[in-house]
Structure 1
């Protein structure tokens, strides 16, 4: 459901399932031609739409209650122990989280991509640690972003901590708990798929706080990972969830996430919860055909939740750069290290060799992207899915937030893999690469067609002359060694006609040539010189 302002009215679309909640707004009527509910533009109407979780378009001011909440938390009372100055919206979220964890045991941060929810969380747990209220922290997140937590702690934590990322075999993960008992804040980062398999070890370790990042991963109360976190949530002292989109299709998605947070808020029975807030119909009344009592539901949810829309983060710069640190799988790491050390590596089928430095750098970049051709075969072999998994999580987040997305990649096999992923998800996309002829039509479809949600572009052929302002998020799946290509590609979304803040996400494999290239681009370095004169520093990245 989303709302736009039209003069002195609000027009609300995709609201059929929410129609019962909209009946609380005076002066409403349904425009059958436009298929939209129309309301007077009043503070009460905006507040109701906020509570129902509607996406609010440009020109719609936050309600007076939202402004009052923002004002209440704008001044720092307890200085966070981080190596950064928080933006105003981060200060408010930090103060809110501390108050929630002072008064109760749970806090939710609903923050759009690019607004810094990881930094907000590190600030919060740092203060709790300094106040001696916590000593052990468990972070549960998608596999693709475990490295982000490690990097963000290194960059921002201004307090003593010890952090380990659980990877490798299950036995290796189990053993890690035995060594995490020091006096610094002990932080364990684990992905959702592993967490439920380690429930016994986590219970024995007894974390003081559990943070579920991208908590919509546990929106289904019936999955093994959700059930495990419901149980673990009962034994921890504090719980937090972080997400941009707690509901990705149904208000009922709140239940499982809040059962983990604090089951006293929405109860312990999904069926009682569903009967109260859903309208059932269809065969034997088992199908959800609408929702009811939504204002009450969202009031309960927002009692412990702080919402940050990137449009409301007015002190953010016009564009934000984010580096997502990706861990190569063990097999891919072996291939990469062999190529770097010996200029050759064994693949599943055949061998790949590099006869000179430029070829070696090319093969290393291909390895981090996931595909390499052996010397004997013309077809590329998949050696890693790490970046593709990370991209899939970003795509899911953008689709949930109703945002279009641009993806830049260097190599054709990467682009073909991205295409397969989008087709599997049923997501419409436009594509420009060397073999595509109808480039103007591809751009037009992305800019004008609401069903085309992703633009995929080969970095070398998409850099100049294209306007892609329908998106405000761009992902760099892989980069080449051209600063010109990089700078030109950034201007595809950040240009005249763009009304939103732009977010650039760079997928960078940890401990690889990706880091050196990213660092050189960030500092506008001469990568050509780096390749010719300082090539050893690239290889030793």
Structure 2
């Protein structure tokens, strides 16, 4: 395997650590650095990743490390049993997804192994089942891979810091490194919201003492220019009716927005299935014969988009992952669901990305940008956001650009005031 100079340097800088974190920007090649470090640390590797990345990681280990490894897919019971029981002179590599690990009791008793967490920011909430299991595991070595901290979400680092061996309490961590303000919620209660960070360089120095390595794309890679274009389209009649009345019947299904969260959800959905948005998308697709990647949210959106496409089609969502058209046809369209494909996919054969509808997750939004803008991309990257002005989509994108999720209860009051 031939590594880039920045990858070699990252490995050299962390050579003395058996607990490391590569908090590298998306597209800088964390997969190769993480696997090289894991192979160097020992005979037993447990890799945890997203479900959509299982096949990619299996292919990676088999392509670059066979025949000196034995690979086990731990989502399969029989391979899990073999992985736990087998003693061999080869390096054992077990691969499993986050949502399965807390269901595999056999893994709770593992000892003296190297734990590698791909997209380790997934365990930011230590109270989830998957995070609590991982935090209690008896590993000897650990490797964390994440691009999220580079995007500035430093509050998400506490559980990862704990895994690296820094035993600072969460309360003290937040006190030392985040700036919060108190806000009143619509129900009269108050909540603290993180509005900024402090002592960031001190935080990074402390994390480096525990094996963390930080890297931004622009420090090591001269990637092509990114251009963002907003394409406006009108709202539909159905959207305006629902926005006013909070109830509408679509295809014999009654949508009732009696609660703020359902009201917001159905507004997004009605925009996503509107003929107005679909028409703009079709014009955009018809304007080029290049590969296109399209991010969407809902299954109903997927069906609408598929109905207007007459080119080779690839789909990545919770039910399927088929990139054969993307790989083999330079005029292909690749439809990607945010939750299944915002993180980890390598789609740099394309240089055009369309946001059919916005995600409410800032992390997914930031990650999605890097699917085409990464090592191997030689063309300027163009991002098209299809937006209905003065709609919920505008507010969502404004929040995402500020680095916020559009799920905070503070936004509910904004929506209520608009309706009144």
In the alignment, what sits opposite 1:153? 61
Deviation at 1:97, TM superposition (A): 3.0
Instruction: Map 1:261-276; keep pairs closer than 5 Å.
Output: 261-264=164-167, 267=168, 269-276=169-176
The secondary structure found in structure 2 opposite 1:262 is coil
Deviation at 1:145, TM superposition (A): 0.8
In the alignment, what sits opposite 1:185? 91
Q: Is the 8 A contact 1:110 1:305 kept in 2?
A: yes
Q: Is the 8 A contact 1:107 1:239 kept in 2?
A: yes
Write out per-residue CA displacement over residues 359-399 of structure 1, whole angstroms, 9 at most, x where no aligned residue: xxxxxxxxxxxxxxxxxxxxxxxxxxxxxxxxxxxxxxxxx
Runs of 5+ in structure 2 lacking a partner? 230-264, 288-293, 297-304, 314-320, 334-347, 354-371, 378-420
Q: Is the 8 A contact 2:22 2:30 kept in 1?
A: yes
- Cα RMSD for the two superposed structures: 4.6
**Distance in 1 separating the partners of 2:45 and 2:159:** 21
The alpha-carbon distance between structure 1 residues 158 and 270, as it changes in their structure 2 partners (threshold 3 A), is: same
Q: Paired residue for 2:120, among 197, 200, 215? A: 215
Write out per-residue CA displacement over residues 248-272 of structure 1, whole angstroms, 9 at most, x where no aligned residue: 67421100122122233xx1x3223
**Distance in 2 separating the partners of 1:278 and 1:485:** 46
Runs of 5+ in structure 1 lacking a partner? 1-83, 129-133, 320-401, 406-422, 445-452, 464-474, 505-541
Question: Greater RCO between the two (CA within 8 Å, min separation 6)?
Answer: 2
Deviation at 1:142, TM superposition (A): 0.8
**Distance in 1 separating the partners of 2:374 and 2:25:** 11
> Does structure 1 residue 314 correspond to structure 2 residue 221?
yes
Instruction: Map 1:55-134; keep pairs closer than 5 Å.
Output: 84-101=1-18, 106-128=19-41, 134=42
Q: Is the 8 A contact 2:312 2:329 kept in 1?
A: no
Write out per-residue CA displacement over residues 389-447 of structure 1, whole angstroms, 9 at most, x where no aligned residue: xxxxxxxxxxxxx9979xxxxxxxxxxxxxxxxx89969989999x7367557899xxx
Deviation at 1:86, TM superposition (A): 1.0
Higher alpha-carbon Rg: 1
In the alignment, what sits opposite 2:177? 277
In the alignment, what sits opposite 2:291? none
**Distance in 2 separating the partners of 1:90 and 1:462:** 35
The secondary structure found in structure 2 opposite 1:297 is helix
* TM-score normalised by structure 2 residue count: 0.54
> Does structure 1 residue 485 correspond to structure 2 residue 331?
yes
> Does structure 1 residue 296 correspond to structure 2 residue 237?
no
> Does structure 1 residue 237 correspond to structure 2 residue 140?
yes
Deviation at 1:311, TM superposition (A): 3.5
The secondary structure found in structure 2 opposite 1:485 is coil
> Does structure 1 residue 194 correspond to structure 2 residue 100?
yes
**Distance in 1 separating the partners of 2:6 and 2:327:** 36
**Distance in 1 separating the partners of 2:171 and 2:227:** 32
* TM-score normalised by structure 1 residue count: 0.43
Deviation at 1:152, TM superposition (A): 0.6
